[in-house]
């Protein structure tokens, strides 16, 4: 008699899962969802807090003084002392102009000064001579007065004739006229001489012409106004340089700063002097220190109203308003950044307000992460 085989139980299909397993899956999904929501909420709250105490922006540019180098005298270029984008020191010669015409003008000015000095000397001698003639005329007048007194006394006594008295009186008048003439001549010579010595007008005019000629001659050497670099020029020997016509562009490195554009909501706790860290795109992996120099009070927001017209109201179609940004000027406080600064270069900036002590370590980690991210951005 055969024994019956035990009945085999078919595996349960997915549709036949137990309620307990379904509840476990549902709980796991809810748990993950809750965790994600909490993480997102924490990130949102952190963003709001950080934006007030350690605001950051990637909308920043390196700025500096850009000066067009233009000659102050007209001449041909005879030598170019720099290459494009070469770093130069203050006072280095950038370009030499042909000095021939200005050397001649300088020599002529020197000769004019010598002639003026000689003229002053001759006029001084004339003054001395005129003063001597005045003294002689005054002496003659004294003698004529004494002679007239004697003749008049003798004429009253009848010793001499009246004609002799008249002759003595005429001599006295002539002596007086001689004094007046000598004094007039002295004043005329003094007027021609003008001031004496270095204050003489003719000599001063010649000295000013000499100074101008010397200045023009020195301007044939175009010098670097400060430490910096030269850019944007294609120049060759023989080029005619004209007054005021730029030959090249000079970028000063003595005064370079960052202009960062922060959102309006981020400026509430910032003030001049607050610490800043800067990551330059030109120097990935490096972070430089700075400080806020000033925060602009206003920007142009596109409202261009004219007198006689009604006000124009810009419409806002979206629920979120467009972000308004304000320029913040930042100065570098460490010297290490000097070799990495390129005017117009982009940067990431994070600022630390006074109350950011707890968030400061997070901000430092973030800006360093952004500095390395510059390799791939």
CATH classification at residue 277: 2.40.30.170
Do 234 and 209 share a domain, yes or no? no
Is it the case that residue 70 has pLDDT exceeding 60? Answer: yes
**What CA–CA distance (Å, rounded) separates 293 from 291?**
6
* From 25-34, 47-56, 129-138, 362-371, the region with the lowest mean pLDDT: 129-138
Q: What's the confidence (pLDDT) of residue 124?
A: 58
**What CA–CA distance (Å, rounded) separates 181 from 193?**
18
Do 87 and 223 share a domain, yes or no? yes
In a domain, 1, yes or no: no
Do 91 and 230 share a domain, yes or no? yes
Is it the case that residue 111 has pLDDT exceeding 70? Answer: yes
Helix (H) or strand (E) run with residue 347 in it = strand 346-352
Assign 16 a pLDDT band (cuts: 50, 70, 90): low
Assign 162 a pLDDT band (cuts: 50, 70, 90): confident
In a domain, 43, yes or no: no
User: Count of domains in the chain?
Assistant: 3
Do 110 and 206 share a domain, yes or no? yes
Q: What is the pLDDT of residues 295-338, one digit of tens each?
A: 988 887 766 666 677 766 666 666 667 778 999 999 998 888 87
Do 117 and 168 share a domain, yes or no? yes
| Domain of residue 123, residue span | 102-216
Is it the case that residue 195 has pLDDT exceeding 60? Answer: no
CATH number, domain of 140, equals 1.10.287.620
Torsion angles phi and psi, residue 285, rounded to 5: 90, -5
Do 282 and 354 share a domain, yes or no? yes
Do 92 and 222 share a domain, yes or no? yes
The percentage of residues in the chain with a pLDDT greater than 70, rounded to a whole number, is: 77
Do 202 and 293 share a domain, yes or no? no
Task: Tell me the average pLDDT of the chain.
Answer: 80
In a domain, 29, yes or no: no
Closest by alpha carbon to 250, among 95, 79, 73, 98?
95
Do 221 and 92 share a domain, yes or no? yes
**What CA–CA distance (Å, rounded) separates 129 from 12?**
143
Going by C-beta distance under 8 Å and a sequence separation of 6 or more, which residues neighbour residue 206? 109, 112, 113, 115, 116
Is it the case that residue 10 has pLDDT exceeding 60? Answer: no
**Within a 10 A sphere around the Cβ of 52, how many other Cβ atoms?**
18
pTM of the model: 0.61
């Amino acid at each position: 008699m055969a024994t019956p085989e035990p009945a085999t139980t078919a595996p349960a299909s997915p549709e036949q899962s137990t309620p307990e397993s379904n509840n476990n899956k549902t709980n796991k999904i809810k748990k993950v969802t809750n965790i994600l929501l909490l993480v997102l909420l924490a990130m949102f709250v952190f963003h709001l807090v950080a934006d007030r105490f350690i605001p950051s922006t990637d909308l920043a540019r390196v700025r500096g003084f850009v000066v067009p180098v233009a000659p102050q005298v007209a001449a041909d270029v005879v030598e170019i002392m720099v290459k494009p984008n070469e770093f130069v020191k203050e006072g280095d010669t950038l370009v030499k102009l042909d000095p021939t015409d200005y050397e001649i003008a300088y020599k002529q000015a020197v000769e004019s000064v010598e002639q003026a000095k000689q003229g002053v000397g001759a006029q001084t001698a004339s003054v001395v001579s005129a003063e001597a003639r005045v003294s002689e005329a005054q002496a003659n007048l004294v003698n004529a007065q004494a002679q007239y007194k004697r003749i008049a006394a003798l004429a009253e006594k009848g010793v001499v004739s009246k004609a002799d008295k008249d002759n003595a009186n005429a001599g006295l008048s002539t002596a007086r006229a001689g004094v007046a003439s000598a004094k007039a001549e002295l004043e005329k010579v003094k007027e021609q001489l003008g001031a004496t010595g270095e204050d003489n007008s003719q000599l001063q005019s010649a000295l000013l012409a000499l100074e101008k000629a010397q200045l023009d001659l020195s301007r044939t050497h175009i010098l670097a106004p400060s430490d910096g670099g030269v850019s944007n020029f294609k120049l060759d020997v023989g080029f005619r340089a004209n007054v005021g016509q730029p030959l090249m562009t000079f970028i000063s490195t003595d005064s370079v700063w960052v202009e960062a554009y922060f959102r309006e909501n981020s400026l509430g706790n910032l003030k001049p002097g607050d610490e800043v860290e800067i990551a330059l795109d030109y120097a990935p992996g490096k972070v430089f220190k700075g400080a806020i120099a000033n925060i602009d009070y206003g920007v142009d927001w596109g409202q261009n109203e004219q007198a006689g017209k009604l006000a124009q109201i810009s419409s806002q179609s979206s629920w979120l308003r467009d972000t308004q940004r304000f320029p913040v000027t930042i100065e570098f406080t460490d010297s290490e950044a000097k070799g990495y600064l390129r005017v117009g270069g982009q940067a990431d900036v994070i600022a630390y307000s006074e109350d950011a002590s707890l968030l400061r370590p997070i901000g430092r980690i973030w800006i360093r992460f952004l500095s390395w991210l510059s390799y791939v951005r």
